[in-house]
Structure 1
Amino acid sequence: MTSLIVELSKFVFILFIAMYTFLSFSVLRKKNQEEINHGWRVQNLLTVLIQVLACVVLLAQTEQEGQEKLLLFFLFQIVLLQAAVFFTRVLYPGVSRLVLNHMCFLMAVGFIMLTRLSYDKAVRQFQIAAVALALSMLIPVLIRKGAFLQKMSWFYGIAGLLLLVAVSFFGKTTSGAKLAIVLGSFSFQPSEFVKISFVLFAAARLVRSTEFRELLATTVMAGIHVLVLVVSRDLGGALLFFTAYLVIFYVATKKPLYFLGGLGAGCGAAFAGYHLFSHVRVRVLAWTDPFSVIDKEGYQITQSLFAVGTGHWLGMGLNQGMPGKIPVVEQDFIFSAISEEFGGIFAICLILICMSCFIMFINIAMQIKNVFYKYTALGLGILYGFQVFLTVGGAIRFIPSTGVTLPLVSYGGSSLTASIMMFAIIQGMYLLKEDEAIQSEKERAAKSKIRKNRKKQIGKKS
Structure 2
Amino acid sequence: MLNLITEISKYLIICLAAFYTYECFAVFRKKYGDFERKKIYKRQMACVYLIHLDAFLVLFAATLNLEMIGMYLVQLIFFLSLHFGYTVVYKNSNRLVLNNMCMLLMAGFVILTRLNFDKAKKQFLIAVISAGITFFIPLIIRKARALRKFTWIYAGIGIALLGVVAIAGAVSYGAKISFTVAGITLQPSEFIKILYVFFIAGMFYESTEFSQVVKTTVMAALHVLILVVSKDLGGALIFFMVYLVMLYVATQRLLYFSGGLAAGAAAAAVSYKIFRHVRVRVVAWKNPLGVIDNEGYQICQSLFAIGTGGWFGMGLYQGVPGTIPVVEQDFVFSAIAEELGGLFALCLILICVSCVLMFFNIAMQMRDVYYKYVAVGLGTVYGFQVFLTLGGVTKFIPSTGVTLPFVSYGGSSLLSTFIIFAIIQGLYLKKEDEGEYHEKRQREYKAQTTKRKRKKTGFDRELEEF
| TM-score, length basis structure 2 | 0.97
User: Offset at 1:35?
Assistant: 2.5
Match runs of 1:13-162 below 5 Å = 13-29=13-29, 30-63=31-64, 67-162=65-160
- Does 1:12 find its partner at 2:9? no
User: Offset at 1:336?
Assistant: 0.4
- The corresponding residue for 2:328 is 330
- The corresponding residue for 2:441 is 443
- Secondary structure of 1:61's counterpart equals helix
Distance 1:247 1:457 in 2: 53
Distance 1:71 1:403 in 2: 33
Distance 1:322 1:163 in 2: 39
User: Offset at 1:261?
Assistant: 1.3
Structure 2: runs of 5 or more not aligned: 461-466
Aligned pair partner of 1:249 in 247, 250, 261: 247
- Does 1:224 find its partner at 2:225? no
Structure 1: runs of 5 or more not aligned: none
- Secondary structure of 1:399's counterpart equals coil
- Does 1:210 find its partner at 2:211? no
Instruction: Please identify, of 434-443 and 22-31, the stretch whose mean Cα deviation from structure 2 is larger.
Output: 22-31
Q: What amino acid is the match of 1:262?
A: G
Per-residue displacement from partner, 1:202-242 (whole Å, max 9, x unpaired)?
00111011222222211111110000000000000000000
Distance 1:454 1:372 in 2: 37
Per-residue displacement from partner, 1:284-312 (whole Å, max 9, x unpaired)?
00000000000000000000000000000
Q: What amino acid is the match of 1:288?
A: K
Distance 1:168 1:32 in 2: 51
Per-residue displacement from partner, 1:243-295 (whole Å, max 9, x unpaired)?
00111011111222111111111111111111110000000000000000000
Per-residue displacement from partner, 1:89-128 (whole Å, max 9, x unpaired)?
1111000000000001100000000000011111111111
- The corresponding residue for 1:187 is 185
Q: Calculate percent identity across the aligned residue pairs.
A: 52
Distance 1:258 1:35 in 2: 43
User: Offset at 1:28?
Assistant: 3.2
Q: What amino acid is the match of 1:89?
A: T
User: Offset at 1:142?
Assistant: 0.8
Distance 1:457 1:6 in 2: 76
Query: Could you tell me whether the CA contact under 8 Å between 1:28 and 1:36 is conserved in 2?
Result: no
Distance 2:208 2:22 in 1: 42
Per-residue displacement from partner, 1:129-172 (whole Å, max 9, x unpaired)?
10110111110011111110011001111101111111111111
Match runs of 1:405-424 below 5 Å = 405-424=403-422
Distance 1:182 1:72 in 2: 31
Match runs of 1:240-279 below 5 Å = 240-279=238-277
Distance 1:73 1:146 in 2: 38
Q: What amino acid is the match of 2:5?
A: I
Query: Could you tell me whether the CA contact under 8 Å between 1:195 and 1:241 is conserved in 2?
Result: yes
Distance 1:122 1:52 in 2: 16
Per-residue displacement from partner, 1:399-449 (whole Å, max 9, x unpaired)?
111110000000000000000100000000000010011011011111111
Match runs of 1:349-388 below 5 Å = 349-388=347-386
Instruction: Please identify, of 185-194 and 297-306, the stretch whose mean Cα deviation from structure 2 is larger.
Output: 185-194
Match runs of 1:338-349 below 5 Å = 338-349=336-347
Distance 1:28 1:138 in 2: 27
Q: What amino acid is the match of 1:207?
A: Y
Q: What amino acid is the match of 1:347?
A: A
User: Offset at 1:22?
Assistant: 1.1
Q: What amino acid is the match of 2:44?
A: Q
Distance 2:32 2:214 in 1: 47
Pairs aligned (count) = 459
Instruction: Please identify, of 23-32 and 329-338, the stretch whose mean Cα deviation from structure 2 is larger.
Output: 23-32
Assess, with a 3 A threshold, how the Cα gap between structure 1 residues 205 and 32 changes in structure 2: closer, same or farther. closer
Query: Could you tell me whether the CA contact under 8 Å between 1:244 and 1:383 is conserved in 2?
Result: yes
User: Offset at 1:184?
Assistant: 5.7
- The corresponding residue for 1:426 is 424
Query: Could you tell me whether the CA contact under 8 Å between 1:336 and 1:395 is conserved in 2?
Result: yes
Q: What amino acid is the match of 2:187?
A: Q
| TM-score, length basis structure 1 | 0.98
Distance 1:25 1:349 in 2: 12
- Secondary structure of 2:66's counterpart equals helix
Q: What amino acid is the match of 1:270?
A: A
Larger gyration radius, structure 1 or structure 2: 2
- The corresponding residue for 2:457 is 459
Q: What amino acid is the match of 1:122?
A: A
